[in-house]
């Protein structure tokens, strides 16, 4: 018989070590693996990363996994998604004709826009931190109100156009460039590593009612999920969320800056759905996350208060800055997957029949796209949510070029592609959806129409 030491280790998903990842039920030791995309792979140590791996590496085949050290198998791995479907192959075949392998990163146009946004940010950061004219209105552009709004928008531009591409590994094939640009997250009051924990999980399981942290991160204040009538997560005040959810989004900045999760880098949304965040890579970065947050608070809370007085009025100006950032960021993010006729339960067939769901199809039918190239220049391509969710490691600069072909392939395969020519149309659809989700209108019986 074979020597016991050569037999594969059989373990449960929870038994994965911090230096191990699981893909398709196979456990790999990554402690000595030199990843071409940098050390970011170690960020996910201790987790099943099947979906994350396949969404970030659209070109890879099974041969690429042979580069890692296989050390065992997971006994409780249950795949929910299927890959390499005819729809996926057709999408990739057409898109890769437009964007050749190795050219999917930032273009000259992207870098020009990014550096413009970065210059605008640092100018406004210096202005806000050193201003002594918060309450001087002889020149309106020097007032605290004007400075706060401009700085808030400048931060939002960093969030949309710089850090987002970077933390998807889409700015450059050089890992250090992505890492550098990725710290834009910390420059605007958030945390690079917590953002990645939640956002990559969201991408892998978009609108999954048990695994997408974005789908329930706002609960219980308001609900993005359209829960059935009588569901315990449905609250009476959700009936009014179509009116107040926009105001609540304005507090996004304050809740992010004051979030204690920066202390341990255990992003609670990702942790809630089972992501482990106790590996050495994360633990070693906690001190840097705390330092960056302390710098942000010093520049944007303490310094303005010293220069303009510790008063409620000064705090109001600081909050105006934060709300300007919040509204710009969160409104655009909320449009992406919360609209009329979005697929709010992409795993429905899997729950009923056990038949795995095409991951590419679910990404299309849970996302929306609005506008065109100009909107993309302003939002970092976040208006192209369908394209972004299909190819998250592709620079947003390419989305206007691949969008028409993706719509064509979706039509061919009978996949629902939500497109709004103008942003206000997507916004109206989002408000309508939030109202219906809050009131339960989609679940109410309509006997005269025959719907149920």
**Per residue in 113-167, pLDDT tens?**
999 999 999 999 999 999 999 998 888 888 999 999 999 999 999 999 999 999 9
| Residue-level pLDDT at 447 | 52
pLDDT of 107 higher than 60: yes
CB-CB neighbours of 309 under 10 Å: 12
**Per residue in 371-401, pLDDT tens?**
999 999 999 999 999 999 999 999 999 999 9
pLDDT above 90 covers a percentage of the chain that reads 66
- Mean pLDDT for 254-271 is 91
Report the SS3 class of residue 379.
helix
- Taking CA atoms, 157 is separated from 131, 152, 396, in Å, by 21, 9, 14
Tell me the pLDDT of the chain averaged across its residues. 91
Band (6; pLDDT cuts 50, 70, 90) = low
Band (185; pLDDT cuts 50, 70, 90) = very high
**Per residue in 109-120, pLDDT tens?**
999 999 999 999
Give the pTM.
Answer: 0.91
- Distance between CA atoms of 21 and 28, rounded to whole angstroms? 5
Lowest-pLDDT range of 8-22, 44-58, 221-235: 8-22
Q: Which two tokens stand for residue 97?
A: 């004709």
Reference 256, options 336, 199, 314, 316; nearest CA is 199
Q: Give the bridge partners for 27, in sequence order.
A: 22, 72
**Per residue in 228-256, pLDDT tens?**
999 999 999 999 999 898 888 888 899 99
Report the SS3 class of residue 20.
strand
Cβ 438 vs Cβ 241: under 8 Å: yes
| Residue-level pLDDT at 34 | 83
Cβ 29 vs Cβ 71: under 8 Å: yes
Reference 293, options 434, 429, 183, 151; nearest CA is 183
**Per residue in 61-103, pLDDT tens?**
778 888 888 888 988 888 899 999 999 999 999 999 999 988 9
Query: Which single residue is written with the structure tokens 């826009």?
Result: 113
What end-to-end distance do the CA atoms of the chain give, in Å?
61
- Distance between CA atoms of 170 and 106, rounded to whole angstroms? 7
pLDDT of 452 higher than 50: no
- Mean pLDDT for 439-451 is 67
- Quote the Cα angle for 258-263-266, to 5°: 100
- Distance between CA atoms of 131 and 276, rounded to whole angstroms? 43
pLDDT above 70 covers a percentage of the chain that reads 96
Name 350's Cβ contacts closer than 8 Å, sequence gap at least 6: 80, 356, 357
- Taking CA atoms, 448 is separated from 355, 356, 437, 441, in Å, by 34, 35, 21, 15
pLDDT of 333 higher than 60: yes
Reference 326, options 380, 265, 247; nearest CA is 247
pLDDT of 51 higher than 90: yes
């Amino acid at each position: 018989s074979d020597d016991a030491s050569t037999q594969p280790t059989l373990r449960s998903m929870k038994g994965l070590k911090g230096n191990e990842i699981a893909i398709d039920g196979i456990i790999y030791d990554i402690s000595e693996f030199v990843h071409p995309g940098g050390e970011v792979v170690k960020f996910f140590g201790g987790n099943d990363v099947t979906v994350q791996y396949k969404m970030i590496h659209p070109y890879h085949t099974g041969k690429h996994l042979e580069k890692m050290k296989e050390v065992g198998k997971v006994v409780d791995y249950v795949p929910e998604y299927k890959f390499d479907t005819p729809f996926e192959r057709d999408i990739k075949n057409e898109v890769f004709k437009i964007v050749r392998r190795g050219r999917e990163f930032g273009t000259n146009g992207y870098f020009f826009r990014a550096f413009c946004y970065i210059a605008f940010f640092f100018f406004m950061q210096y202005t806000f931190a050193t201003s002594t004219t918060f309450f001087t209105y002889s020149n309106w552009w020097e007032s605290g109100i004007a400075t706060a709004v401009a700085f808030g928008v400048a931060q939002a531009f960093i969030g949309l156009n710089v850090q987002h591409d970077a933390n998807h590994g889409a700015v450059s094939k050089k890992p250090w460039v992505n890492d550098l640009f990725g710290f834009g997250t910390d420059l605007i009051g958030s945390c690079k590593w917590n953002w990645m924990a939640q956002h990559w999980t969201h991408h892998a399981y978009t609108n999954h009612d048990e695994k997408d942290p974005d789908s329930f991160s706002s609960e219980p204040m308001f609900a993005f999920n359209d829960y059935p009538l009588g569901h315990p997560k449905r609250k009476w005040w959700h009936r009014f969320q179509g009116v107040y959810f926009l105001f609540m989004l304005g507090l996004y900045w304050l809740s992010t800056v004051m979030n204690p999760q920066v202390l341990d880098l255990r992003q609670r949304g990702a942790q809630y759905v089972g992501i482990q965040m106790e590996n050495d890579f994360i633990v070693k970065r906690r001190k840097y996350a705390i330092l960056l947050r302390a710098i942000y608070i010093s520049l944007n809370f303490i310094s303005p208060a010293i220069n303009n007085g510790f008063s409620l009025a000064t705090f109001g100006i600081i909050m105006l800055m934060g709300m300007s950032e919040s509204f710009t960021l969160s409104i655009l993010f909320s449009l992406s997957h919360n609209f009329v006729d979005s697929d709010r339960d992409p795993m429905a067939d899997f729950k009923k029949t056990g038949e795995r769901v095409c991951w590419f199809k679910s990404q299309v039918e849970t996302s929306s796209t609005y506008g065109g190239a100009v909107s993309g220049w302003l939002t970092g391509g976040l208006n192209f949510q369908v394209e972004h969710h299909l190819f998250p490691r592709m620079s947003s600069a390419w989305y206007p070029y691949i969008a028409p072909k993706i719509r064509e392939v979706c039509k061919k395969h009978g996949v629902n592609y939500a497109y709004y020519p103008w942003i206000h149309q997507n916004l109206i659809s989002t408000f309508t959806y939030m109202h219906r989700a809050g009131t339960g209108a989609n679940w109410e019986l309509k006997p005269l129409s025959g719907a149920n």
